[in-house]
Amino acid sequence: MIIDMPSTNTSQVNAKLVELREAGGMTTLGRVLTLVIATEDGQQTEEAIDAANDASREHPCRVLVVARGAKRAAARFDAQVRIGGDAGASEVVVLRLYGPLADEGASCVEPLLLPDAPIVAWWPFDAPAVPATDPIGRLADRRITDSANTKRPIKALEQRAASYTDGDTDLAWTRLTSWRAMLASALDLPPHEKVTEATVTGAADSPSTDLLAAWLAESLRVPVRRVKADKGGGIGSVSLQRRSGPVELVRPDGKTGTLTQPGQPERKVALQRRKVNECLAEELRRLDADEIYADALRRWRKLNTAKSGTKTARKPKAGAS
């Protein structure tokens, strides 16, 4: 069910939610969190809502979508409430804010937050430079960005690194989980030799590839070469050098990976790129600070600053970690 509420305010929206609950008993499920999606109003808003609805099947939640409309317009607050089949296992409230209200997302969201439940903020596209101090980010216990989904992914990752605060996370990191898991389980098996160096290949503008290289550098404490591939998107391959030969995980087509280890047959492994809904569901599973991500990000920043010299080096910010 979709209910449009043009030119309204949060009190009316709240009243509507209570009314729907009483009238239909439609929202009897326990909600475990409030997910605030902050985005520009437009076509892409729906994609984000769909992903959130999917994720809500695992994590029943209230989804509040803050869609910022034209700033140069009269102040206006349109709301849309979706429940039942149109909202997965969640209840979705889309808030469209125009004019001076466009920057008032946080104050419009606040009255609609679930009592006591954790709050997760998600910027599916462009994110504020410092998510933790953004008005919506400040409300949230966890802040999800997606640097790969911005116009300048590496630039976005630089911002993430410069402003990291506990509770930050990025879907570029989430997309890596299957790669990391595969590599970790490859090293679970004998021979337990030390990795001496590593190479990571991937698209030039792939923040996931950068983070993977940084994670390997951080946890293996060895030099990691980051090779920029001209073809294909995302991560292409990883190679870990050991005395007996390299452990290689190669994914040429974005779907199937091949794992090769010395003395063992070549193994194929399904390693498809993860969809946003999967990544989001993974993110919602944990609401504490992701220390491993923080370490990888810090390492990436160090490597990146050292390598590019003064060109893209940013002023080190206090409180960056």
Partner 1 sequence: MAAAQRKNPLRDERDKRLPRIAGPCSVVIFGVTGDLSRKKLMPAIYDLANRGLLPPGFALVGFARRDWEDEDFGQVVYEAVKEHARTPFRQEVWDRLAEGCRFVQGSFDDPEAFHTLARTVKELDEERGTGGNHAFYLSIPPGAFPTVLQGLQTSGLTDQDSGGWRRVVIEKPFGHDLRSAKELNRIVNEVFPEESVFRIDHYLGKETVQNILAARFANQFFEPIWNANYVDHVQITMAEDIGLGGRAGYYDGIGAARDVIQNHLLQLMALTAMEEPLSFSPRALRAEKAKVLNAAHAVTPFGETTARGQYLGGWQGGTKVPGLLQEGGFAKDSVTETYAAITVAVDNRRWAGVPFYLRTGKRLGRRVTEIAVVFKRAPHLPFDDTSTEELGQNALVFRVQPDEGVTMRFGSKVPGNAMEVRDVTMDFSYGHAFTESSPEAYERLILDVLLGEPSLFPINEEVELSWEILDPVLANWAANGKPEGYRAGSWGPESANEMLARNGHEWRRP
Quick check: 23 binds partner 1 (CB under 8 A)?
Answer: no
Minimum CB distance to partner 1 smaller for 220 or for 229: 220
Helix (H, G, I), strand (E, B) or coil at 197: strand
Out of 155, 228, 286, 307, point to the residue binding partner 1 (CB under 8 A): 286
**Binders of partner 1 in range 115-174 (CB under 8 A):** 174
Amino acid, res. 37: I
Diameter over CA atoms, the chain: 70
- Tokens linked to 233: 């998107």
* Of the candidate residues 96, 160, 180, 299, the single one contacting partner 1 (CB under 8 A): 180
Near partner 1 by CB under 8 A: residue from 15, 73, 129, 184: 184
Q: Restricting to residues 48-67, which ones interact with partner 1 according to CB under 8 A? A: 56-60
**Apex 262 CA angle, 195 and 221, nearest 5:** 5
Residues 6+ apart with CB under 8 A from 46: none
Q: Does 321 bind partner 1 (CB under 8 A)?
A: no
Cβ neighbors of 134 (< 8 A, separation 6 or more) are 121, 128
Candidate list 272, 308, 312, 321; residue touching partner 1; CB under 8 A:
272
Give whichever of 8 and 219 is closer to partner 1, judged by the CB atom: 219
CA distances from 198 to 211, 238, 245 (A): 13, 7, 12
Q: How far is the CB of 215 from partner 1 (least distance, A)?
A: 8
**Member of 15, 70, 129, 189 binding partner 1 (CB under 8 A):** 189
- Say whether residue 243 binds partner 1 (CB under 8 A): no
Whole-angstrom distance, CA of residue 19 vs CA of residue 41: 27
Q: Which is nearer to partner 1, 27 or 201 (CB)?
A: 27
- Shortest distance (Å) from residue 223 CB to partner 1: 14
Q: Shortest approach of partner 1 to residue 294 CB, angstroms?
A: 10
**Residue 242 identity:** R
In whole angstroms, the minimum distance from the beta carbon of 135 to partner 1 comes to 29
With a CB cutoff of 8 Å and minimum separation 6, the contacts of 263 are 244, 245
Instruction: State the DSSP code for 290.
Output: -
234: left (phi over 0), alpha (psi -120 to 50) or beta: left
Work out whether 264 is an interface residue with partner 1 (CB under 8 A): yes
Q: What angle do CA 172, 174, 178 make, to 5 degrees?
A: 115
Chain contacts with partner 1 (rule: CB under 8 A): 28-30, 32, 56-60, 89, 174, 177-178, 180-185, 187-190, 192, 195, 216, 219-221, 255-257, 259, 264-265, 267-272, 278, 281-282, 286, 290-292
